[in-house]
């Protein structure tokens, strides 16, 4: 099998950008053109969590162990910014490194905070 030499390595930063685009309401077609990816299966929220090891089994439920410590800075950011995509990505990477080193866990926790805010 010949590997596609033009295919670039997918990174954690790409996943963060992908989540931001979906939070902005962008379509899968837009996102696949944005990343220049023909296989749209890598461009779903489910695939982001799967790559992070946060999804178990066929039911795609989140792994209950993905919860991370919620810092005051995270709570303040959720109150200050209307959407996850508005939080500066440097902040998210910084919190991730300080809390547990897993950017996906941090993003998942922030999404959970936003959902609780809306209730």
DSSP string, the chain: ----TTPPPP-HHHHHHHHHHHHTT--HHHHHHHHT-S-GGGSSHHHHHHHTT-EETTTTEEPGGG--PPPHHHHHHHHHSSSGGGS-HHHHHHHHHHHTS-HHHHHHHHHHHHHHHH-
38 found inside a domain: yes
Determine, yes or no, domain membership for 25. Answer: yes
pLDDT (tens place) for every residue of the chain, 119 residues total: 344 445 556 677 777 777 777 777 777 778 778 877 776 666 666 676 666 655 444 444 444 445 567 888 888 998 898 888 788 878 887 887 776 656 777 777 888 888 887 76
Q: In this structure, is residue 5 part of a structural domain?
A: no
Q: For residue 61, what are the β-bridge partners?
A: 56
Number of independent structural domains in the chain: 1
User: Does some domain include residue 34?
Assistant: yes
Could you list the residue range(s) of the whole structural domain that residue 23 is in? 12-118
């Amino acid at each position: 099998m010949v590997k596609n030499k033009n295919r670039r390595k997918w990174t954690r930063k790409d996943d963060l950008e992908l989540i931001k685009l979906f939070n902005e309401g962008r379509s899968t077609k837009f996102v696949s053109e944005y990343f220049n990816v023909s296989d749209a299966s890598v461009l779903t929220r489910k695939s982001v969590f799967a790559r992070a090891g946060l999804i178990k089994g066929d039911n795609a439920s989140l792994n209950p162990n993905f919860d991370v410590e919620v810092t005051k800075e995270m709570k303040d950011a959720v109150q200050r910014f209307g959407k996850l995509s508005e939080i500066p990505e440097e902040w998210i990477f910084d919190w991730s490194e300080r809390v547990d080193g897993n950017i996906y866990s941090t993003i998942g926790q922030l999404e959970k905070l936003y959902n609780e805010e809306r209730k």
